[in-house]
Amino acid sequence: MNASAADQGRLLEIAKLDERLAQLEHKAKSLPEHSEITTLDARAKVVGNLVVAAETECGDIGREVARAEIDVEQVRARASRDESRLNSGQGTPKELEALQHEVVTLSRRQAELEEVELEILERLEQSQKYLAESQREAKELSDTKLGLEATRDAALAEIAKESSVAREMRGILASQIDPEFLALYTKISESVKGIGAAELHQRRCQGCRLEINATDIGRFREASPDEVLRCEECRRILIRTSTSGI
């Protein structure tokens, strides 16, 4: 196949643009922020569950506190009534003795209930402390993620901008090349799963990076400028330049 030296030069520029576009695509997928955000999301999910669990525990303990307060208040109110009756001196000696005994019993019961209430309050304080710590971590994770997303989005915007310019330049060059020659390049690119053309630089194919043997170099030297050369190793189109070494 033959193609003008101008078309071969344009194809080499297209190959370079395609290589750059592939690099930009890889860069977009490999931004460190992607994995960092994924890690943050995983931790945020765990912390979110911890927050829900802590909120539930605080609610449960809060209800325990309310019940304990009611129990203490009931005993305190009954003891107050008994003390009032006892202080009034109304009733038979036997009744007053019974009241005295009940006041002592209620006092002991009140102390026990207040101790239980205190223990529940201490549990509530610890649970609230853990909830606050979990909420603080959740907020820090959210803020960090927002920062990473902003950095990622800015990087992706720059990549998209450069990619857009490269595609536009590629389109202009492609419109100026013989369609049959461009189709061959496309077919080879699909075959090698990469760039279908490479520069012949210092007798070495820049596609597979292998040095061209002496026989092929001799043949390339005798080839006309319009002849399309192919690397015998990777089958890419070889584009001759002033640094080809032939």
Greater confidence, 124 or 96? 124
Helix (H, G, I), strand (E, B) or coil at 163: helix
User: Based on the number of CB atoms within 10 Å of its own CB, is 77 exposed (0-12), middle (13-18) or buried (19 or more)?
Assistant: exposed
Q: Which two tokens stand for residue 43?
A: 């931790």
Domain boundaries, the chain: 5-25+178-240, 31-174
What is the DSSP code string of 177-211?
A: S-HHHHHHHHHHHHHHTS-SEEEEETTEETTT-PB
- DSSP letter, residue 229: E
Residue 197: CA atoms inside 13 Å, Cβ hemisphere, count? 24
Kindly report, residue by residue over 105-118, the tens digit of the pLDDT. Answer: 999 999 999 999 99
What CATH code is assigned to 31-174?
Answer: 1.10.287.1700
Residue 42, pLDDT score? 98
Kindly report, residue by residue over 43-79, the tens digit of the pLDDT. Answer: 999 999 999 999 999 999 999 999 999 999 999 999 9
d(CA 142, CA 136): 10
